Structure 1
């Protein structure tokens, strides 16, 4: 299993219930075949530049241990979910 850091950015106009529901769905993908070692909720942050006329986003930082296939599935689902503005997955070296 490899270690990864994942940053999730949600649109600022998504209500909390929908954001938590979407986050739980994405979290379950990792937990089914990997380990979620840390979840850090950064909250609403200002963006360095506008994305689709938005000046801020709601951030989460996840530290996970998973197989590459699990992370690929996570990315695939994150791309098609409407509340997710952007996501980034980075493999952490040993």
Structure 2
């Protein structure tokens, strides 16, 4: 079965619970059409490079999907209709990584304070 990564950006004024509900809705659409969501990652509220529909920030969510082609078409159709989603992209991938995505690793590194060790200003 083909593998996909589906990333969508939700409006900045949504709560985290509403963003999680959008991810659950996308999961339900995939599972109702004989697909399977392997992993869901919420990357959080991030700054955008430019304004999109008067939004300077957006909630980023990625779904790893294993599903037939028709499922992706239905998912994109439903996503296009939703007013809370400002952008989305689905790409087909050859294989899924079992480790966290680059964005999740970046978030972990930022929470830990970087990998520079004692070179931070406060450590002098």
TM-score for both structures, normalised by structure 1: 0.90
Residue 14 (structure 1) shift: 1.9
| Secondary structure of the corresponding residue to residue 18 of structure 1 | helix
Q: How many residues align?
A: 94
Q: In structure 1, list runs of 5 or more residues that go unmatched.
A: none
Structure number, greater radius of gyration: 2
Q: Which residue of 2 aligns with 1:7?
A: 7
Residue 27 (structure 1) shift: 1.2
Residue 18 (structure 1) shift: 3.1
Deviations 1:16-63 (A, max 9, x none): 343333321111011221111111110101111111221110011111
More moved, 45-54 vs 2-11 = 45-54
More moved, 2-11 vs 20-29 = 20-29
TM-score for both structures, normalised by structure 2: 0.70
Greater relative contact order, per chain length (Cα 8 Å cut-off, separation 6+): 1
Residue 79 (structure 1) shift: 0.2
RMSD: 1.3
| Secondary structure of the corresponding residue to residue 13 of structure 1 | coil
Looking at secondary structure, tell me which structure has more strand per residue. Answer: 1
1:1-94 alignment to 2 at 5 Å?
1-32=1-32, 33-93=34-94
